[in-house]
Homo-oligomer: A and B are copies of this chain.
Amino acid sequence: MKHIISATVTNKSGVLARITGLFSARGFNIDSLAVGETEHPELSRMTIVVDGDDAQLEQVRKQLGKIIDVIKVTDISSEEHVERDFMLIKVNIPPDKRSEIIEIVDIFRGKIIDVGRKDMIIEISGPEDRIEAIINLVRPYGIKEIARTGGIAMKRGAK
Contact = CB atoms under 8 A, between A and B. Distances in A.
A154 to B, nearest CB: 5
A153 interface: yes
A48 to B, nearest CB: 10
B154 A45 contact: no
- Identical subunits present: 2
A129 interface: no
Interface of A: 6, 11-14, 16-17, 20-21, 23-24, 27-39, 44-45, 47, 82, 84-88, 90, 109, 111, 113-121, 123, 125, 135, 143, 145-150, 152-159
A153 to B, nearest CB: 7
Contact of A84 (B28, B30, B113): B113
